[in-house]
Structure 1
Amino acid sequence: MCRIFSAQTADRYAYQTRSIRLGGHATSIRLEAAFWDILEEIAMLQGVTLGRFLSKLHDEVLEFQEEEMNFTSLLRCACLTYLAEVRGQEDDNDRLRREAVQAFHTAAE
């Protein structure tokens, strides 16, 4: 039963550290490769670069919470939310694309 989980290749769960800019500051985020793959998929679905997607997400979270958060943990949970509630759901994919166009277009103005 556990073979689907235990037989993963090590590169799938190996950590990758990437440098990005959040709120105008350079920082590094360390996530497992599988999470980076999902985040890249989400950014692509929204038609933006991964860096732009992460920066926008970070800004939006600060608007809602107005305090520091564990952004790396938030990213992992965002990936799980995407897999559980969005991926494969055409209506949700379309809604996500529409919201992204509006959010990123407004941010560029």
Structure 2
Amino acid sequence: MCRVFAGQDPEGYRQINRSIRIDGHSTSIQLEATFWGLLDEIAESQGLTTPKFISKLYDEAIEINGQIPNFASMLRTTCALYLRGHRPSVEEQAAMKREAA
């Protein structure tokens, strides 16, 4: 079983930096390629660009929690929740698409 994990393509865990504008500031976020691929997929499912999705996620998390001690970790756990099937309802998706327009 470990061969499945150990034998994965190193490209999937290559570190990639992306510059995202959050709250009016340009911010560099470093994640593994696999996580960027998942975030791209999540954003597309919401009808948003990846930068817009990440910015909205940041704003909502600040509103709910007041602070985010490690935003890169939050993005990784967002991907894990997505893979586990935690997805927005149809109504939430429609609201996000309306806000994006």
Calculate the TM-score normalised by the size of structure 1. 0.84
Residues 1-109 of structure 1: pairs in structure 2 closer than 5 A: 1-86=1-86, 92=87, 95=89, 97-106=90-99
- 3-state SS, counterpart of residue 67 of structure 1: coil
Deviation at 1:68, TM superposition (A): 3.8
Deviation at 1:10, TM superposition (A): 0.8
Q: Would the alpha carbon gap of residues 9 and 65 (structure 1) be closer, same or farther in structure 2, given more than 3 Å must change?
A: same
Matched residue count: 101
Calculate the TM-score normalised by the size of structure 2. 0.90
Deviation at 1:104, TM superposition (A): 4.6
- 3-state SS, counterpart of residue 84 of structure 2: helix
Q: Give every structure 1 segment of 4 or more consecutive aligned residues whose post-TM-superposition deviation is greater than 6 Å.
A: none
Q: 1:100 and 1:69 mapped to 2: Cα distance?
A: 27
Q: Once structures 1 and 2 are overlaid, which stretch shifts more, 99-108 or 4-13?
A: 99-108
Letter in 1 for 2:52: R
Q: 1:29 and 1:98 mapped to 2: Cα distance?
A: 30
- 3-state SS, counterpart of residue 48 of structure 2: coil
| Structure with a larger share of its residues in helix | 1
Q: 1:80 and 1:16 mapped to 2: Cα distance?
A: 18
Letter in 1 for 2:10: A
Identity among equivalent pairs (%): 45
Root mean square deviation of aligned Cα: 1.7
The gaps in structure 1 that reach 5 residues or longer are 87-91
Check whether the contact 2:61–2:68 (CA below 8 A) recurs between aligned residues: no
Residues 30-89 of structure 1: CA deviation (Å, up to 9, x unaligned): 000000011000001111100110000000000011124211000000000000124xxx
